[in-house]
Amino acid sequence: MVLSARLRREARAESVFRVATLTSALLVLALLAGVLLTLIHGSWPALKTFKWSFVTGERWNPVADIYGALTPLYGTVATSIIALLIAVPISFGIAVFLTEICPRWLRGPISTGIELLASVPSIVYGIWGLFVLAPILQHSVQPWLIVHLGPLPVVGRLFQGPPYGIGLLTAGLVLAIMILPFITSVMREVFRMAPLSLKEAAYGLGATQWNVVWDVVLPWSRTGVIGGIMLGLGRALGETMAVTFVIGNAHRISASLLAPSTTISAAVANEFAEAVGDLYTSALFALGLLLFVLTFAVIAGARLLMMRLERGTVQRA
């Protein structure tokens, strides 16, 4: 009798617990839907006025009320690609060193250092980029690039123009430093999970450390690695403050990586506070919607890729 009462009570507690967790989970979806609806509602006037030319137009003129988001879109994608090109190889190196090669006593300091990098606020990266990194780039790195790479065919076009110190390349560099700890942490974790038996078997067959990392650890953990890269990419796409300081904030597209440009989030951060007029405000909302869609597309693409990879692995096994 007593036992059944207790069981009943526990069953009730259990159902309350379930409903509570379900509500928490649904709250996320509700919030997401709310954000999306607000963005669509806010950006409607601009989208109705400009239609597709909002995405394909290059002009962004608050005086004439003409808004095209191609420049911020290009800037967002270009800086993120530069950041990934720099951060992914370095993260890979750090993660391999930490899991396979690093002596135990050095592991702690390096890991802590990476975690500290992740906790630096983005405004600090922005100010550091503007006051420390930009002058170095302007006086040493960029003149060298212009003289030595500028005259080359095709590639040279990326390194022409005056050395301002700030621009797409600088923004990409700062972003690379910012996303490095995230990608490194994920890579390190998934590399560590690679089964010891596989690695030992490979070493037993006479494989070198490089062979083991490249042919055993990496294939085994590739979905995790892609997930880590996507985490970094997501952060790079949306980063605001640091980029605003070092990108040069110009609504112009030029072939050179040394030229100033702008990103979606930087444009919103720069202009929202002083935006007067319905169409202007709406165009900034539409930029937000564009970033939402872009980020969503990237994450969805990554999921799809990972699902396909996982299925492939299962089938082979």
Binding residues for another protein, per CB under 8 A? 59-64, 130-131, 134-135, 138, 162, 164-167, 244-245, 248-251, 260, 262, 269-276
79 vs 138 by CB, closer to another protein = 138
Shortest distance, position 174 Cβ to another protein, whole Å: 14
Shortest distance, position 16 Cβ to another protein, whole Å: 21
Shortest distance, position 192 Cβ to another protein, whole Å: 40
Shortest distance, position 306 Cβ to another protein, whole Å: 38
d(CA 280, CA 242): 24
Cβ-proximal residues to 71 (8 Å cutoff; 6+ apart), any chain: 58, 60, 250, 251, 252, 253, 261, 262
87 vs 247 by CB, closer to another protein = 247
Shortest distance, position 135 Cβ to another protein, whole Å: 5
Shortest distance, position 17 Cβ to another protein, whole Å: 21
Q: State the residue for tokens 């003129």.
A: 61
One-letter amino acid for residue 200 of the chain: E
d(CA 256, CA 178): 23
98 vs 284 by CB, closer to another protein = 284
99 vs 262 by CB, closer to another protein = 262
188 vs 251 by CB, closer to another protein = 251
Residue 66 parent element (H or E): strand 66-67
CB contact at 8 A, 166 and 246: yes
d(CA 100, CA 221): 14
d(CA 88, CA 111): 17
CB contact at 8 A, 145 and 262: no
Shortest distance, position 182 Cβ to another protein, whole Å: 25
Helices 222-238 and 168-192: crossing angle, nearest 10°? 150
d(CA 14, CA 176): 46
d(CA 88, CA 265): 23
For Cα atoms 57, 62, 67, give the angle at the middle one, nearest 5 degrees. Answer: 20
93 vs 135 by CB, closer to another protein = 135
* Phi, then psi, of 66 in degrees rounded to 5: -115, 125
Please name every residue paired with 66 in a beta bridge, in sequence order, or none if there are none.
Answer: 61
61 vs 313 by CB, closer to another protein = 61
d(CA 191, CA 103): 16
178 vs 212 by CB, closer to another protein = 178
Shortest distance, position 122 Cβ to another protein, whole Å: 13
